[in-house]
């Protein structure tokens, strides 16, 4: 691994491709973007979008191919940055961020030609003779605001979709992941012109200034509170938005579940990235008949994956910052901890922690956890579990472990949520064949694969009429025979 050196001036230096990159997290540092320069960057992207240079299919493929090559050239830098920001191992960094991004890039490159062309649709009787078709048009200038928990993937995957759709982009990585932000900027600047994609680094001041600008589309991934603010600011310009938020995603373990597989997949999904995953199982609802066996298997799987002393495991990551570390410790009720609960303030690490006997009134159930704490609630009937879920805002994900097809059908049909898995956790987002997104308080809009192209495109509906025939029935003066024909056609 390359070395990251924390210097008194508040800089983090990363050796990359034979050069040193500097990032200054303090808002007054020389790398901070000024309001004037932000406005200039947006206007530069707007001028380029208006030129039509991004619309030809060859231009889109060229941009995607250049981005693909740059990411592959900087794989080690990305993995090192993810380790510096979140303590992710190279394996986890590639599996959950770099690899997924490259897979999405390949998918977009393979399909963008078909998506971008005209698509003929049926012409109704009233509009004959004629032809009907749709064509996708880029919105123009897109703002992508990404979070810190998967700082590379959740920046690059929306960017890939926006470029495939023919937009210019302003990208704002999270200031909470400074090393990754630096690498993202380096990758973009190495392969794409600034009028096509520009990266704005910084914190709250830069976010505020960006939201003062007029964009044609805003794609935001982050918390519900900030998402609400983004939507308010977007409304000032009537800018459409996609909001990828979060919420308390439930995991239901039925009495007929395979407990060994269930526990392994719940532990994987919950404690991946130390629980700092928007679709992590936030809490488990377990049938009382298998409660004890399930808890025993969960503890065994935690020990198997992370060892009996997780804080000494070099593959166990860390909480992003002191603020979230302290918040998470405040959610732990020591009297309900059945395993874990330990922490290290120097390294911002918290052990994989399971709490049992949790009720809806506990602090850990009052907010999205976003950390390595798993509350377990026992239920007696599926109606009880269903009522508890539906009493809360619509979650981003739901997970059900069962062999019962009737139970599966019931929960999928009657419980609202963004997406999820049957007999697994979180992996439903790792495909380009289905869209990913929330509903209600967990977000609006979706992306991945064709959904990304659609999200960043406006679909024009076009009717091309023939000139050789012009039925007169729509023209005045109206007559009885015209009225009969109109009523015959439009019914």
d(C-alpha 234, C-alpha 467), whole Å: 43
Q: Examine the residue annotation and report whether 189 is marked as an active-site residue of this protein.
A: no
SS (H, E, C) 284-316: EEEEHHHHHHHHHHHHHHHHHHHCCCHHHCCCC
Please identify which residue in the block is written with the tokens 């000494």: 312
DSSP state of 445: -
Q: Examine the residue annotation and report whether 191 is marked as an active-site residue of this protein.
A: no
Question: 364 phi and psi, to 5 degrees?
Answer: -65, -15
DSSP state of 408: H
Q: Which of 244, 297, 368, 386 is catalytic?
A: 244
**Separation in Å, CA 192 to CA 45, 55, 108, 140, 200:** 12, 16, 17, 17, 14
Q: Which of 278, 368, 386, 421 is catalytic?
A: 278
Strands, E, within 41-91: which ranges? none
Q: Helix 75-86 crosses helix 57-73 at what angle (to 10 degrees)?
A: 70
Q: What residues have CB less than 8 Å from 51, skipping those under 6 apart?
A: none
Burial of 345 (0-12, 13-18, 19+ CB in 10 A): exposed
Q: Find out whether 370 and 391 touch, Cβ atoms under 8 Å.
A: no
Please identify which residue in the block is written with the tokens 């971008």: 116
Q: Which active-site residues does the annotation give?
A: 244, 278
């Amino acid at each position: 691994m390359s070395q990251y050196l924390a210097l008194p001036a508040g800089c983090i230096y990363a050796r990359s491709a034979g050069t040193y990159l500097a990032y200054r997290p303090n808002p007054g540092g020389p790398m901070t973007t000024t309001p004037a320069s932000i406005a200039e960057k947006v206007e530069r992207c707007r001028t380029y979008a208006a030129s039509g240079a991004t619309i030809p299919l060859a231009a889109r493929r060229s941009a995607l191919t250049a981005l693909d090559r740059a990411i592959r050239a900087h794989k080690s830098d990305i993995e090192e940055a993810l380790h510096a920001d979140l303590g992710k191992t190279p394996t986890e960094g590639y599996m959950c961020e770099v690899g997924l991004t490259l897979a999405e890039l390949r998918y977009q490159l393979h399909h963008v030609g078909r998506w971008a062309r005209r698509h003929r649709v049926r012409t109704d009787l009233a509009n004959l003779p004629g032809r009907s078709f749709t064509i996708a048009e880029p919105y123009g200038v897109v703002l992508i605001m990404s979070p810190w928990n998967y700082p590379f993937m959740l920046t690059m995957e929306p960017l890939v979709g926006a470029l495939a759709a023919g937009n210019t982009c302003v990208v704002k990585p999270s200031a909470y992941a400074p090393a990754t932000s630096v690498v993202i900027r380096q990758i973009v600047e190495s392969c794409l012109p600034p009028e096509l994609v520009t990266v704005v680094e910084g914190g709250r001041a830069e976010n505020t200034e960006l939201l003062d600008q007029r964009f044609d589309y805003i794609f935001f991934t982050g918390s519900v509170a900030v998402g609400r603010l983004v939507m308010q600011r977007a409304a000032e310009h009537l800018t459409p938005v996609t909001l990828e938020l979060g919420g308390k995603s439930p995991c239901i373990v039925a009495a007929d579940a395979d407990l060994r597989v269930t526990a392994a997949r719940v532990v994987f999904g919950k404690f991946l990235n130390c629980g700092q995953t928007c679709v992590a199982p936030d809490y488990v609802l377990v049938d009382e008949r298998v409660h004890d066996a399930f808890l025993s298997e969960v503890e065994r799987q935690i020990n198997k994956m992370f060892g009996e002393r997780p804080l000494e495991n070099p593959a166990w990551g860390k909480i992003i910052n002191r603020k979230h570390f302290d918040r998470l410790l405040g959610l732990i009720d020591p009297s309900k901890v059945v395993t874990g609960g330990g922490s290290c303030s120097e390294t911002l690490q918290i052990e994989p922690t399971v709490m049992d006997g949790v009720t809806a009134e506990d602090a850990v159930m009052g907010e999205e956890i976003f950390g390595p704490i798993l509350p377990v609630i026992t239920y007696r009937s599926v109606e009880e579990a269903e009522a508890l879920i539906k009493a809360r805002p619509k979650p981003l994900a739901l997970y059900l472990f069962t062999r019962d097809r009737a139970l599966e059908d019931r929960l999928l049909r009657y419980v609202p949520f963004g997406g999820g898995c049957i007999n697994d956790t979180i992996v439903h987002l790792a495909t380009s064949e289905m869209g990913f997104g929330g509903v209600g308080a967990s977000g609006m809009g979706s992306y991945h694969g064709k959904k990304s192209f659609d999200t960043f495109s406006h679909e024009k509906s076009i009717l091309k009429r023939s000139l050789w025939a012009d039925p007169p029935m729509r023209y005045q003066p109206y007559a009885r025979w015209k009225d009969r024909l109109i009523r015959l056609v439009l019914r």
